[in-house]
Chains A and B, each alone.
Chain A
C-alpha cells in the first residue's frame, strides 16, 4: 500500500516539473504570449538578437537533452532500487567504483563542453566583432540616474529616453552603432527584441549595435541596478522606415517651434520667462534660448516625445504639471526637485513647454 502511494507522489512530482517546463516552453515560444510581451527574448527583430536566438536554441537543445537523460536515470534509480516492504534486511552488494565508468562519464562531458565552447566563441565573435558598414548610424547613449540621453553627433540632435533609429534591410544595411557612456553610476542598455544588453559604465566607452528589420516600437529598460528609480528607467526604441526617419531628423534639427496664435502668445511668453528665470535652466536646455543646462533632459522638442520621466508616464499637459510640482508623485526619489510654483506660473510654464514640438 505505502510503496504505491510513494510511487504516486513521485510520479506527481515529476509530472509537476514536466508541466512547468512545458508551460515555460509554451509561454516563451512563438506562442500567443510573445505577441503580447513586448520584451520577449524569443521574438528577435534584428540580426544581433536573431543570432543570439538561434544560438540559444542550440544551447537549450543540448542542456535539455542532458536533463532528460540524467533526470530519467535518477527517477529510474529511485523507483527501481527503492527498498520495498517485503525486502530482506541484508545489505546490497558494496561497489566502490569503476575506473572505466569514471573515464566514460568524464569524456562525454568534455566533448559536450568542447562543442559548446567552440560554438560560443564563434557566436561571440560574430556579434562583438561585427564589421561596421558605411551606411551605419552613430548614436551616443548616456546613462543617467534615472533617464537616458541620446546624442546623434553626425546629425547634431540631442534627445532623451526615446531612441529613434532607421530600419535596416539586408541588401542595404544601415545598422545603428551605439557608443555607451555613463554620467554617474553603472547602467545597462537592454532592448531584448533588438539586442543583448551592454553596460554603460562611467569612465569607460562601450559599444553595441542593432539592425532592426521591422519598423515599430521596441521596449526595454535599464538592467543594471543604479539606485532608487532603477525600475523606472525605461527605454523606448522607435524604428522608422527610412523616409520617416529622415523626416524625424529634419524635425529635430529645426529650432523649437514658436506659437503663432496671438491669443496664447503672451501666456507662452510669460511661461518662457519663468523657465528662463527660475531653476529650470540650471538642468534643462532648449536650443536657441539661454537655457543650456546639461543635468536633465534636453527639452528643445519635448512635445515630440510620447512619455515623460523616462517612460514613467504619458507626456500630457496634466502630467507635465504634476511632474513640475511634485515629481515624487510620479517617480519617488527622482532627482528632479519640486518647483513649488503658483498655479498661474505653472499654467504659463506648461503653456510654453507644450509649444516645444
Chain B
C-alpha cells in the first residue's frame, strides 16, 4: 500500500502524469532487466551496423574503378580495419547476445538471467569498448584525414602492430577496446551458461529445452574458452609495445606466427560463436512457419555441440600459406572438412522439417529460406577453402572475402533479420509491416547476390583482399563495379527496414500474445512481456509446451520421452 501511494504521488508531480525523458533514460541506464539489456544490446549493434556499413560503402566506392582516388590508401586501410573490427566485435556479438539475453530466460520459463547485475556490467563494458575504439578517430593525431583509427587489419598480424611499424596510439585503441569488450562478453557468456543450466522452469529437462537455448548455451560455452587466448594475445601485445616484451617482436627474436596462432584459436571458433545463434533463430522460426516440429531434435543438439568441439581444432586453416609441414596442413584440412559433417546434418534436418509441412511464406520465413540457400553455398565454399592446395591459390584473395561475407551476411544477417521480424511483435507489441518487410527482403537478396556472388570471381582472377586500388590491366574492373552496384540495393533495403521499425512502433498493428501461432513459452506471455516474465512459473512436459496446450488431443509429450 505504501509503495503504491508513493508511485501515485511521484506520477502526480508532472502534468500529464508520465515519467520525464531523463527518468526514462535513467531507468534504461541503471536497468538490470534482461529484456531491457537485450534491447540495449540490439539497438547498440544496429547502430554500429550502420556505421560499419558506411565504412564498407567507402571501400566499395574506392574500388569501383581501377586506380581510383576517392580516398587515400591510409584512409582505406583504416576503413577496412574498422569495418572488420566493428562488424565482428560491435555488431555480431552484441546483437546476438542481445537476442540471447532477451530470449533465453523467456524460452526456458525463467524470470530473469542468473546474474542480472553482471548482465548490466557486461553490456556497459561492451558499449564502452566500442566507444573507445571509435574515439581513436579523434583521440590521436587529430581530425585531419581519418585521425588515427587503427589500420592494421581486423586480425592485426604481428609484427605490423609493433611500435616500429605502428607508431602513435591507433593500435592501442584497437587492443584495449577489444580487451574491454572481451571482458563484457565473458560476463554475458557466463550468465547465459549459468541461466541455461540453473534457471529452467519445472519439467524442462535439458532434452526438452528449445533448440535456441541449447545453441546459445553452446555458443556461450565456446565464448568462455576462446576469449581467453584473445585477451592473452592483446595483453602480450601491449607488453610488447610498452614494457619491452618480445612475444611478437620479430626484430628481437619474437614470433610473428605466435600471434597468428593466438588470434585464430580465438578467431575461427568466433565464426561459429557468431553463426550458431543464426542456427538457433532458424531452428525456432523454420518449424513454426512449416507448421511442423523440428526434425531430429537429438541430432540437432548433437550436431551443434559437435560443431562446438571440432571448431576448437581447426584454427590453422587460416594459416595454410605460412609454411606449415605437409602433415600439419593435412590435419587441419581433415579437421575443417569434418565440421562439414555436423553442419550437413543440420541442413538436412531443416530440409526435412520443411518436407511435408504447410509452409507459410511470411517475412520471417523468407529470411530463413534465404539463410538456408546461402548457408549451403557458404558451407560449400568453406569446404573448398579447407582444400589446402586450392586455398594456396585463393587464400587472402577476394574469394575468401566473398566466402565469409556469404557466412556472415548471407547466413548470419539473414538469420538476424528473420529473428527481428519474428520477435519484434513480442518485444514491442506491434507487428512489422509485411509489405515493407517483403521490399526489404527482396531488395536485400538481390543486392546481396549482385555483390557477393560476383565477389568470388576477382579472387579466382588473382585479386588479393585489402588492396586500396588495383591495376587496370588485371581485368577486375567490371566485376568490382558490379559488386559496388549491389551495395546500393542493400543500402536501400536497410533504410526500408529502419523505416519499417519506426513506422510500426508508431502505427503498427497490435500483435497480441501469439501472432505466429507458435509453440514456445515466450508466446504464452503478453507482448511486450511483463516484468519478471511469468507471474507463475510454467510447468512443461514437452519441447513445445504451447502445442500441448493448443492440441490437448495430440500433445507432444505422448511421443517425446
Contact = CB atoms under 8 A, between A and B. Distances in A.
For this complex, into which size category does the number of interface residues on chain B fall? Answer: 35 or more
B293 A96 contact: yes
Nearest to A17: B449
A222 interface: yes
Contact of B390 (A16, A52, A207, A224): A52
16 contacts: A27-B461, A36-B475, A74-B373, A77-B351, A77-B355, A91-B291, A113-B337, A120-B389, A123-B389, A124-B326, A128-B325, A186-B158, A190-B462, A197-B392, A203-B255, A231-B468
Nearest to A101: B352
A109 to B, nearest CB: 4
A225 B326 contact: no
Interface of B: 72-74, 77, 151, 153, 157-160, 164-165, 250-251, 253-257, 290-293, 295-299, 321-323, 325-326, 329-330, 333-334, 337-338, 340-341, 344-345, 347-349, 351-352, 354-361, 369, 372-373, 376-377, 380-381, 383-384, 386-397, 442, 445-446, 449, 453-454, 456-457, 460-471, 473-476, 479, 551, 554, 556, 559-560
Given A24-B456, A223-B396, 15 more contacts: A52-B389, A52-B392, A74-B376, A77-B354, A81-B355, A92-B291, A92-B356, A92-B358, A110-B341, A116-B383, A124-B329, A180-B323, A196-B389, A231-B466, A332-B74
Nearest to B347: A70
Which one of B290, B351, B475 has the greatest number of beta carbons of chain A within 10 Å?
A: B475
Contact of B77 (A124, A207, A228): A228
A87 B475 contact: no
Contacts of A102: 296, 299, 345, 349
A31 to B, nearest CB: 12
B125 to A, nearest CB: 29
A134 interface: no
Interface in A113-134: 113, 116-117, 120-121, 123-125, 127-129
A33 B442 CA distance: 31
B438 to A, nearest CB: 10
B120 to A, nearest CB: 37
A275 B360 CA distance: 78
Interface of A: 6, 9, 13, 16-17, 20-21, 24, 27-28, 33, 36-42, 49, 51-52, 55-56, 59-60, 63, 66-67, 70-71, 73-74, 77-78, 81-83, 87, 91-98, 101-102, 105-106, 109-110, 113, 116-117, 120-121, 123-125, 127-129, 145, 180, 184-186, 188, 190, 192, 195-199, 201-204, 206-207, 219-232, 234, 332-333
A223 B464 contact: yes
A194 B254 CA distance: 32
Contacts of A231: 73, 466-470
Contacts of B358: 81-83, 87, 91-92
B460 A40 contact: yes
A78 B359 contact: yes
A196 B392 contact: yes
Contact of A16 (B159, B449, B470, B479): B449
